[in-house]
């Protein structure tokens, strides 16, 4: 037996108190005072018989009561590596967590993990219940609270390593919830893994219920070179009016075994394009660049593939490439020479993305122009009622509208679209010129200008601007020095409208001559067109965006995703993120009508899982149980902490109760003896 507070046994010195009480001299005879004897020296009455203990039973009761109380405060418990030895009996609720990440395919690690899972199942008692959970990026409950061993063993036999990366927190949270629901007196978790360092990020939310026994079982071993393609990069070029791309692959050797020569192949559409050979030292890195390939269409499916080695899932890296698609912009200009010169030149310089510009007079803008455009720019023009109605439909269907409100800007009544009402011009030609400030740096338009020396709008001078009154729901993104809004935004339907309360040429300001002009125009057009660079690949565990590949005005209803294994998964009509990537290869987003391909998403394994560097399992034990615990070698079980064992046994309560009962018995016994 052990004690949490053994210093309380110092109080056992108090056992001497009952003994002293029993040995104390007490003169019971009645003393009579006689005046004639008042000067006689008083001699104490002495008797050896009075110094002997007469009531041994009363003494033992008092000493036992004090002993029990002191022992209770010392918090005793039975120290042992398992709760059964600690005196806690009963059935167990066991959760078996089996790591199913792809690193378990290295060497014979999966065979070891499967054997450990079998051993945990076969060690169950007749009254025990067990849950089987396979985990990697997420956690999947194969069987819950089963008392039958055959189904558990069958689930273990049917399992194989997946393509996910190791993440311990989801599995431990699932184990905690399963144990919290159990009514059995003993709770245990068996964690079977290769304990990769990259799988644990110190998540504080992964806590197990108090009194839980956590048993980590480590699997290891394996040999041979483990090469991995970690990423690819692209260099675009143009040859004979055709866009081409050169692919460079980054390759890492994750093992201590050198690779003298491994084949690396570039594939497009499942067809081999070029092969090279790469040699890597132990834990070395290399890059392989392939010859440029002509991009023949959207979403070309490419793969860089290595030869076979000791760990296969990280030997292929999938990606997609597409020709650069420009953002189509229609500029409504009043036809004056040079009015749109600075604006069109700024758009011509852009290459990420490229802007394809069409300049029209306002009345010449057709439905075809609007149908093919992503953004319409009204460069200080008068808008007719007919054009206003067309622009309302254009914005509501997802288009972007940028209005520069100079002295000639007129908006028709009835077309409720602008984010602010246009008022009279403000003349700043006399005195100090106007300045722009109060920028909303959290907005995408001004976010690139947040950093120091990234652009200063206050250097631009404004000699005139329109006073505007924002409508309800509009957001002011910038203001002039007088407090008048300079840039106002409003959402209308699926699109956006930005109102710039001045001109984009030199008639009212010198902004086109300042360095911030070009990035400002580009950011406005990117924001209004909802431009985002296509992601060439994603990682298993990430989520497929069902809105990928949906053009403006195209309804998302009826779309499906075709997984790499050929399954058809309906996508949510509201565009929610509902499809996690759990396979490697290519996911195809298709329309419900005619199965037209809208987008292709490449999926790869997490290359960090290829790093087989291990961690100490007691770091997980300390985080999940709340106290550091030593880990015995050989993968054996971990004992509970002293506090946890004492808290689960509560022996002190029984000792204290017995001590109080003895004190009560002492009172009754002493009263009876005093009457005799």
Residue 99 forms beta bridges with which residues?
A: 135
Residue 556 scores a pLDDT above 80: no
Higher pLDDT, 673 or 576: 673
Residue 304 scores a pLDDT above 70: yes
In this predicted model, what pLDDT tens digit does every residue of 236-268 receive, in sequence order?
A: 888 888 889 999 999 999 888 788 888 999 999
Chain centre distance of CA 531: 26
Q: For helices 517-529 and 341-349, what crossing angle results, to 10°? A: 70
From 68-77, 172-181, 320-329, 355-364, the region with the lowest mean pLDDT:
68-77
Q: In this structure, are strands 227-239 and 242-253 parallel, antiparallel, or unpaired? A: antiparallel
In this predicted model, what pLDDT tens digit does every residue of 438-482 receive, in sequence order?
A: 999 999 999 999 988 888 999 999 999 999 999 999 999 999 999
Using a 10 angstrom Cβ sphere, with 0-12 exposed, 13-18 middle and 19 or more buried, the burial of residue 199 is buried
Q: Record the tokens describing residue 506, joined without a space.
A: 């030199």
CA 305, 306, 307, 313 torsion: positive or negative? negative
Gap between the Cα atoms of 541 and 140, Å rounded = 13
Average pLDDT of 119-141?
94
Whole-number pLDDT of residue 245:
93
Chain centre distance of CA 307: 33
What backbone phi and psi angles, to 5 degrees, belong to 291? -65, 150
Q: CA separation (Å) from 60 to 52, 56, 180? A: 15, 6, 46
Of the candidates 280, 161, 39, the residue with the CA atom closest to the CA atom of residue 584: 161
Whole-number pLDDT of residue 595:
67
Concatenate the DSSP letters of all residues of 151-199 into one string. Answer: HHHHHHHH----SPPP-HHHHHHHHHHHHHH--SSEEEEEEEE--BGGG
Chain position carrying tokens 């890296």 = 317
Q: Record the tokens describing residue 507, joined without a space.
A: 């008639």
Of the candidates 114, 124, 126, the residue with the CA atom closest to the CA atom of residue 161: 114
Element (H, E) at 277: strand 271-280
Gap between the Cα atoms of 606 and 175, Å rounded = 24
Percent of the chain with pLDDT over 90: 54
pTM for the full predicted model: 0.68
From 79-83, 172-176, 643-647, 657-661, the region with the lowest mean pLDDT:
79-83
Q: In what order do the strands lie in the sheet with 186-193?
A: 139-146, 129-135, 92-99, 186-193, 213-218
Q: For helices 109-122 and 149-158, what crossing angle results, to 10°? A: 170
Whole-number pLDDT of residue 597:
80
Whole-number pLDDT of residue 6:
73
Of the candidates 355, 375, 402, the residue with the CA atom closest to the CA atom of residue 552: 375
């Amino acid at each position: 037996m052990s004690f949490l507070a053994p210093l309380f046994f110092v109080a056992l010195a108090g056992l001497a108190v009952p003994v002293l009480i029993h040995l104390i001299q007490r003169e019971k005879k009645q003393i009579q005072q006689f005046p004639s004897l008042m000067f006689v020296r008083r001699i104490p009455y002495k008797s050896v018989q009075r110094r002997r203990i007469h009531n041994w039973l009363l003494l033992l009761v008092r000493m036992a009561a004090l002993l029990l109380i002191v022992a209770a405060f010392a918090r005793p418990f039975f120290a042992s590596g398992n709760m059964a030895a600690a005196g806690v009996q009963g059935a167990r609720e066991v959760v078996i967590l089996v790591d199913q990440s792809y690193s378990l395919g290295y060497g014979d690690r999966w065979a070891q993990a499967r054997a450990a899972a079998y051993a945990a199942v076969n060690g169950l008692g007749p009254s025990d219940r067990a849950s089987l959970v396979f985990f990697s990026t997420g956690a999947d409950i194969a069987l819950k609270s089963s008392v039958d061993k055959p189904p558990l063993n069958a689930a273990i036999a049917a399992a194989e390593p997946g393509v996910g990366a190791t993440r311990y927190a989801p599995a431990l949270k699932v184990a905690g919830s399963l144990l919290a629901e159990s009514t059995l007196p003993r709770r245990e978790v068996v964690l079977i893994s290769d304990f990769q360092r990259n799988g644990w990020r110190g998540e504080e939310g992964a806590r197990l219920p108090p009194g839980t026994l956590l048993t980590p079982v480590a699997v290891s071993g394996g040999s041979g070179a483990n090469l991995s393609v970690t990423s690819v990069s692209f260099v675009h070029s143009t040859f004979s009016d055709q866009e081409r791309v050169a692919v460079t692959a980054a390759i890492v050797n994750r093992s201590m075994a050198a690779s003298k020569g491994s084949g690396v192949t570039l594939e497009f559409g499942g067809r081999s394009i070029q092969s090279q050979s790469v040699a890597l030292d132990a834990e070395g890195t290399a890059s392989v660049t392939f010859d440029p390939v002509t991009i023949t269409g959207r979403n070309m499916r490419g793969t860089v593939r290595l030869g076979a080695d000791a760990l296969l899932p990280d030997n292929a890296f999938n990606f997609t490439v597409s020709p650069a698609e420009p953002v189509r912009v229609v500029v409504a200009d009043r036809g004056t020479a040079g009015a749109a010169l600075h604006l069109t030149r700024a758009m011509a310089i852009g290459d990420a993305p490229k802007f394809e510009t069409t300049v029209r007079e306002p009345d010449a803008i057709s439905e075809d122009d609007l149908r093919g455009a992503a953004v319409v720019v009204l460069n200080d023009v008068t808008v007719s009622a007919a054009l206003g109605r067309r622009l309302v439909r254009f914005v509501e269907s997802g288009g972007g509208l940028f209005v520069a409100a100079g002295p000639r800007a007129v908006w028709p009544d009835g077309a409720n679209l602008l984010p602010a009402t246009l008022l009279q011009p403000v003349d700043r030609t006399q005195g100090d010129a106007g300045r722009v400030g109060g920028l909303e740096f959290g907005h995408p338009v001004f976010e690139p200008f947040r950093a120091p020396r990234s652009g200063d709008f206050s250097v631009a001078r404004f000699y005139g601007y329109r006073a505007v009154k924002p409508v309800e729901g509009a957001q002011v993104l910038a203001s002039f020095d007088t407090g008048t809004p300079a840039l106002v935004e409003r959402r209308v339907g699926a699109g956006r409208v930005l109102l710039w309360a001045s001109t984009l040429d030199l008639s009212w300001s010198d902004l086109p001559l300042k360095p911030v002009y070009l990035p400002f125009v580009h950011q406005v057009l990117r924001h209004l067109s909802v431009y985002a660079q296509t992601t060439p690949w994603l990682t298993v565990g990430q989520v497929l965006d069902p809105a990928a590949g949906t053009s403006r005005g195209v309804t998302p209803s009826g779309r499906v995703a075709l997984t790499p294994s050929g399954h058809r998964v309906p996508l949510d009509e509201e565009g929610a993120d509902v499809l996690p990537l759990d396979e490697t290869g290519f996911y195809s987003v298709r329309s419900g009508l005619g199965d037209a391909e809208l987008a292709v998403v490449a999926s790869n394994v997490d290359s960090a899982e290829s790093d087989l560097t291990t961690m100490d399992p007691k770091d997980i034990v300390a985080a999940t149980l709340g106290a550091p615990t030593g880990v015995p070698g050989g993968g054996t079980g971990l004992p509970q902490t002293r506090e946890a064992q004492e808290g689960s046994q509560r022996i002190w309560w029984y000792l204290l109760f017995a001590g109080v009962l003895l004190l009560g018995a002492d009172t009754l016994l002493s009263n009876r003896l005093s009457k005799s």
